[in-house]
């Protein structure tokens, strides 16, 4: 697959549309990518005998290794040059007498190393979309969910300051039954937008197949008639709920005319009816909005013998997909470099990774509660998210030397000494009986282990016994004894000295007599 690879969130959308039976042309038009790109990914899927349902469950870094074995190819300078001239070429092609052949002649004259005629026509054709007449849209039950924000704000009053707090009204509707949902959120930011969307799905009690958002910034990063760039967080949300995202065309409200009509109706049935009521928090405002929207859904529609709620419950709700067991958590992405201490920085907190990755870049996906770290398409670490600004470490991620450093304790050194020499073990017992800072004692022990390695066994045994006898606990003192060969002059003395033999022994009978006899 030549060229820059597509984001894996978009590839999941491609796989989901493919499993739902969409044709290659429909997928290309829906996701605004070329048909050749769709064919390439589907061919890769078939040649490797990959299961689409299994791929949809994988995280993006793992899924990327299934389709791309190495780094993406470099950008073709011919395409960069051609892309800069697309607007000019499309305008010139509309002029009288202008043909693609004549355009190519002028193009190749100004850029001799450019595309051949066939490739020139191919890339030009990908950018030109013929206008189509409008038509009556038919909607299947549980197929789509239209979402939008109302143009006018709704507000409540801060109880403490009396300030008027303006809010955005999120509106959604199922086009088949025209069933509506609305709630107020603080803003149109991605967090508030996805929270309102999750509340909507919970209220519906299921998930439709396709989500149709407007070109708001929370949903579409870059609005474009042909290639809108969907917000990655929204794609993650859709993948979590197993939905497809098909954004409406910019400047074409008829693509989502039903939700536009819902906004107009809610101006009358929510805004107007709540205009004389005062609310002091967002929760009470949303409770009132919910009541008015419920009345709206239960109102009999004109020229229909049913209301929106009746049609939704009878024909649409049973066909909705089940809600996932876990709520969606907003994902964030970064690619930090592993520091020399084996940790990566995520939002000013540091998380450990295996020490073999020091110096390399890793991919991090973090949510409100968890941090997942990937390297070469494999998950190498998972941590609970922390906001303290310190370090979160797993001992198994450290090297053996660092683990040994952290495992230091009097028991650790005594066990090592017992393995090497019984005399060294007795000396370390005396050392740890001192009332000194532990790390000072650890360094003394490290020095004694070095002396044990570099000294003859018999000589080191004698110096240990002398040190135990005289309670010498200083590394430097023991080192001086060895350097000056003082073990030859310092004699080991027995701790218990027997008394000399003599006849002046009274015995116990002397001390128990009542009258002393000399």
pLDDT at 253 over 80: no
How does residue 71 score in pLDDT terms, banded at 50, 70 and 90?
Answer: very low
pLDDT in tens, 313-361: 988 899 999 999 888 888 888 899 988 878 898 888 989 888 888 888 9
pLDDT in tens, 396-428: 777 665 655 555 677 777 777 887 888 888 888
Return the pLDDT at 142.
86
**Residue 207 carries which DSSP code?**
B
pLDDT in tens, 297-318: 998 888 888 898 998 998 889 9
pLDDT at 493 over 60: no
Residue 128: which H helix or E strand, with range? Answer: none
How does residue 132 score in pLDDT terms, banded at 50, 70 and 90?
Answer: very low
The DSSP string of 134-202 is: -------TTSEEEEEE-SS-EEEE-TTT--EEEEEEEEEEETTTTEEEEEEES-SSHHHHHHHHHHHHH
pLDDT at 159 over 80: yes
Q: What b/e string do you get for 397-410 counting C-beta neighbours within 10 Å, with b at 16 or more?
A: bbeeeeeeeeeeeb
Name the burial class of residue 193, with classes exposed (0-12), middle (13-18) and buried (19+) by CB atoms within 10 angstroms of its CB: buried
- What is the distance between the alpha carbons of residues 396 and 353, in angstroms, rounded to a whole number? 9
Return the pLDDT at 223.
59
Q: Mean pLDDT lowest for which of 240-244, 434-438, 477-481? A: 434-438
Q: Mean pLDDT lowest for which of 236-250, 393-407, 446-460? A: 393-407
Check if the beta carbon of residue 168 is closer than 8 Å to that of residue 187. Answer: yes
Q: Which residue from 22, 314, 309, 318 is spatially nearest to 142, judged by alpha carbons?
A: 318
Domains of the chain are 8-127 (no CATH), 144-319 (3.30.420.10), 332-403 (no CATH), 408-488 (no CATH)
- What is the distance between the alpha carbons of residues 270 and 284, in angstroms, rounded to a whole number? 14
């Amino acid at each position: 697959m030549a060229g820059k690879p597509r984001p894996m969130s978009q590839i999941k959308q491609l796989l989901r549309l493919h499993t739902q039976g969409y044709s290659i042309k429909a997928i290309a038009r829906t996701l605004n990518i070329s048909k050749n790109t769709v064919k390439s990914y589907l061919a890769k899927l078939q040649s490797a005998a990959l299961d689409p349902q299994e791929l949809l469950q994988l995280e993006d870094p793992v899924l990327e290794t299934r389709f791309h074995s190495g780094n993406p190819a470099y950008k073709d300078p011919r395409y960069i040059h051609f892309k800069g001239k697309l607007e000019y070429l499309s305008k010139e092609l509309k002029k009288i007498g202008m043909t693609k052949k004549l355009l190519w002649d002028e193009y190749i004259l100004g850029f001799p190393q450019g595309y051949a005629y066939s490739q020139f026509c191919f890339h030009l054709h990908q950018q030109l979309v013929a206008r189509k007449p409008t038509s009556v849209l038919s909607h299947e039950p549980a197929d789509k969910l239209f979402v939008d924000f109302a143009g006018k704000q709704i507000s409540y009053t801060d109880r403490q300051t009396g300030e008027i707090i303006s809010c955005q009204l999120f509106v959604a509707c199922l086009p088949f039954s025209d069933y509506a949902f609305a709630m107020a959120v603080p803003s149109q930011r991605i967090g508030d937008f996805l929270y309102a969307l999750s509340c909507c799905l919970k209220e519906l009690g299921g998930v439709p197949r396709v989500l149709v958002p407007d070109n708001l910034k929370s949903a579409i990063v870059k609005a474009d008639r042909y290639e809108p760039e969907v917000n990655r967080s929204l794609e993650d949300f859709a993948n979590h709920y197993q939905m497809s995202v098909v954004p409406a065309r910019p400047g074409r409200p008829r693509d989502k005319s039903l939700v536009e009509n819902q906004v107009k109706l809610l101006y009358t049935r929510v805004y107007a009816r709540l205009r004389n009521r005062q609310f002091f928090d967002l929760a009470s405002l949303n409770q009132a909005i919910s009541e008015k929207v419920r009345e709206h859904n239960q109102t009999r529609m004109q020229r229909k013998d049913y209301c929106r709620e009746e049609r939704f419950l009878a024909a649409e709700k049973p066909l909705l997909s089940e809600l996932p067991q876990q709520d969606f958590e907003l994902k964030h992405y970064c690619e930090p470099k592993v520091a020399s201490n084996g940790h990566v920085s995520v939002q000013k907190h540091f998380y450990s990774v295996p020490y073999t990755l020091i110096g390399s870049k890793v991919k991090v996906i973090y949510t409100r509660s968890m941090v997942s770290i990937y390297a070469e398409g494999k998950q190498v670490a998972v941590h609970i998210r922390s906001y303290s600004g310190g370090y979160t470490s797993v001992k198994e991620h450290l090297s053996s030397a660092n683990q040994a450093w952290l495992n230091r304790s009097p028991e650790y050194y005594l066990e090592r000494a017992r393995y090497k020499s019984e005399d060294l073990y007795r000396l370390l017992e005396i050392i740890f009986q001192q009332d000194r800072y532990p790390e000072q004692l650890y360094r003394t022990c490290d020095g004694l282990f070095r002396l044990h390695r570099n000294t003859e066994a018999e000589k080191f045994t004698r110096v240990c016994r002398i040190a135990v006898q005289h309670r010498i606990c200083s590394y430097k003192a023991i080192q001086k004894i060895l350097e000056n060969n003082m073990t030859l002059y310092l004699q080991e003395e027995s701790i218990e000295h027997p008394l000399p033999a003599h006849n002046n022994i009274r015995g116990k009978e002397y001390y128990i007599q009542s009258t002393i006899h000399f």
